[in-house]
Structure 1
Amino acid sequence: MVKIILWLLAAWLVLTLVGAVVKGLVWLAVIGGVLFLATAAYGAIKSGSGRKGIKGPR
């Protein structure tokens, strides 16, 4: 699950950067930023609900 969230964060980051670089596509940067924040929030909620703390190596 964490790998999927990391891939989505990378994809949204790429969309944001492409949108910011290409002139006239500000809407792509906005959509990428919104999706990046939504995915980060979802990942934080999902990872925080099942764990009580960081466990070290066994």
Structure 2
Amino acid sequence: MEIYCAICGRKYEITKIHKDYLRLARDPKSPFICKNCENRVRYQTLEGSKPKKPI
């Protein structure tokens, strides 16, 4: 099954052993986020929630 990432727009080929395959097979319009974007968003969230250093 070919699916596009909701953030970066890259096309991915997923197989039946992929963790999101059943969810996407039932509802193909549900959002899919690739590992790269998932990690980038997690990093940006953690960095943004850290307290700022005083100058």
* TM-score normalised by length of structure 1: 0.30
- Of the two, which has the highest radius of gyration? 2
Please identify which structure carries the higher strand content: 2
* TM-score normalised by length of structure 2: 0.31
Please identify which structure carries the higher helix content: 1
